[in-house]
Amino acid sequence: MPRAPAITLPLAAFAAALAFVVAGGVMAGDVALFRAHATAWMSALMAMPAMWHFLRRAGRRPLGQSWRLWWTAGWLMIVIHMWWGLGALHQWDAASVFARQGLAIAGPTFLLELVWTVDVVLAWTRRDWADARGWAGAWHWFAWALAAACFFVSLILFRNDAASLWTGALMLAVLLSALLRRLAAMEEA
């Protein structure tokens, strides 16, 4: 049996997520606020498979197309999140985000946008993207850790709403499971 192309699921998930963001905004009380929140949830949901893959495989096995596609889908959604979060809610005034959230919160968020973008560019331009070593491999780890930390803080610690909390809890469970699988595999080896 031929396997389904790796792109099918990430593409379908991204399309469904974007449709949810767009249609949900129309039905919600505030389009921009809903879409800013919903794109953050969707970004986390789509980054989850990639982060799970990464934690299990990085440094041990090639990352695979699934990681690259899900990681890219999550990044695309975080870019769209910027459109509504920074553009619609803050009128593209980044300084107002820092003024409102403080450097400790806003700084890592903007840093994540930058680091994730570079990481996706690396994933699609380097021949050794699946098994990167040296600074590129370190960058993958840095991007992963920064994303995990930012999602953990924004989804769980901020406790904005039930949807955020559930998304954060799911991400935590997925990452813990990946960590356990990795530890188990290392022990077996």
Partner 1 sequence: MIRAIVNWVAILASLAALIASGLWLWGERIWSRPPAPDAVSGTEDPGYRAFVHGPIGLEIFPLKYAAVIEAVSGHAFRRDGADPRSLWEIYGFLPNPRATGAPLCAANARDQLPYGFTITRTLPGRAADTPVAFVGLTCAACHSGRIRHAGGVSAIIDGMGNPEIDVIGFSEAVRTAVLDPGLTADRILQAYAEQCPGDDPGPVMAAIERWLIAAWLDGFRASVAEGLRRYGLPRWPHGAEIAAPDTPRHLLEPAGPGRTRPFRSVVRVALDLPGEDNHAFSKIPVVFEQRRDLRPRSQFDGSIRDPVVRAFIAAYASGAAPVTLARPEVAATIRDAARWTETLGIDSPVPSLAEIFPDLPAPDPALLAAGAAAYREDCAICHGWRDLETGRWIAEGALLHRHLPLDRIGTDPERVTFPHGRLLPLALWTALPGAGELLAAQRRRLDAARSAALAASRMGEAQIWAELRARLDRSARQFRLGHPLAFAECTGPDCSACAAEAPGARAPDPACALTATAGYYTNPIPRPWLRAPFLHNGSVPTLRQLLNLDDRPVAFCRGANAYDPVAIGLIARETLDPADCPPETPFLFDTRLRGNSNAGHDFPFTRAEVLADPARAARLEAIIAYLGRI
Point out which residues bind partner 1 (CB under 8 A).
1-2, 4-5, 7-8, 11-12, 14-16, 18-19, 21-23, 25-33, 89-91, 93, 96-97, 99-100, 160
Least Cβ distance, residue 69 to partner 1 (angstroms) = 12
- Considering the complex, state which of residue 32 and residue 172 has its C-beta at the smaller distance from partner 1: 32
- Considering the complex, state which of residue 152 and residue 158 has its C-beta at the smaller distance from partner 1: 158
Distance of CA 132 to the CA centre of its chain: 20
- Considering the complex, state which of residue 1 and residue 186 has its C-beta at the smaller distance from partner 1: 1
- Considering the complex, state which of residue 83 and residue 139 has its C-beta at the smaller distance from partner 1: 83
Least Cβ distance, residue 154 to partner 1 (angstroms) = 13
Least Cβ distance, residue 42 to partner 1 (angstroms) = 12
Least Cβ distance, residue 9 to partner 1 (angstroms) = 8
